[in-house]
Amino acid sequence: NAGVMQNPRHLVRRRGQEARLRCSPMKGHSHVYWYRQLPEEGLKFMVYLQKENIIDESGMPKERFSAEFPKEGPSILRIQQVVRGDSAAYFCASSRETGGEQYFGPGTRLTVT
Amino acid sequence: AQSVTQLDSQVPVFEEAPVELRCNYSSSVSVYLFWYVQYPNQGLQLLLKYLSGSTLVKGINGFEAEFNKSQTSFHLRKPSVHISDTAEYFCAVGAGTALIFGKGTTLSVSS
């Protein structure tokens, strides 16, 4: 049973470009969470999605960031016009039900140059 | 709102020594408590969790934690550490959907 998959594992973008991060949840999981880890910090919640719905986006920056979890395919975290401060590790987690145990992917490390 | 405080940012210990990583939380509602471990450049792995019931929780790799409601603590312990336990450890609290993480404690085990 494959775990949570994230790709790419490493992503380098120049300032102003777009970054697209993908997350495939564990088989049987329909709940996806995105977290961001800045250097020397713990993980900060960004957004919680179920298939085709954003349930809680209280941790998402108001501008440039968006997330989706379509009926088919992986969840996507999209960052438009990246800035140096977006450099971080972005982790995806999935669960089988609301409030269920969250299983984490290996993360995508975004570097903005 | 919930919050988590990990009281030590770094804990250096010698191999085979006991270790305790401290975690305090605040919450106005009943919560679930978790400890995760992160090895360099990897994702988070669940060590153990407290949902309800016995306050002493045993996890993987010989770790255990004790939930203390009166002190709002959930300290992680291991009686004898190995070099391979060197990693970042995160305490987290959940009361709904999102997990709230502490800033992490770096455990460094040396011989």
Encode pLDDT of B7-60 as tens digits.
Answer: 999 999 999 999 999 999 988 777 789 999 999 878 899 999 998 888 899 999
Residues in chain A: 113
Q: What's the average model confidence in pLDDT over A95-100? A: 84
- Cβ–Cβ contact B56 with A under 8 A: no
Number of other CB atoms surrounding residue A63 within 10 Å: 8
Q: Dump pLDDT digits (tens) for A41-75.
A: 789 999 999 998 999 999 999 999 999 999 999 99
| Residues A53, A9: Cα–Cα separation, whole Å | 25
Cα B34–Cα B99–Cα B62 angle in degrees, nearest 5: 15
User: Do B44 and A44 make contact, defined as CB atoms within 8 angstroms?
Assistant: no
Residues in chain B: 111
Name, in order, each residue with C-beta under 8 angstroms of B53's C-beta and a sequence gap of 6 or more.
none
Mutate which of B5, B97, B101, B105 to test chain A, going by most A C-beta atoms within 10 A?
Answer: B97
Phi, psi torsion values for A60, nearest 5 degrees: -85, 135
Local structure of A84: helix, strand or coil: helix
Averaged confidence pLDDT in chain B: 92
User: Do A42 and B46 make contact, defined as CB atoms within 8 angstroms?
Assistant: no
pLDDT of residue A70: 93
How far apart are the CA of B21 and the nearest CA of chain A, in angstroms?
15
- B27 in Cβ contact with B95 (< 8 Å): yes
- In chain A, the DSSP E strands lie at 5-7, 10-13, 19-24, 31-37, 43-50, 53-56, 65-68, 75-79, 88-95, 103-104, 108-112
Name, in order, each residue with C-beta under 8 angstroms of A50's C-beta and a sequence gap of 6 or more.
A30, A31, A32, A69
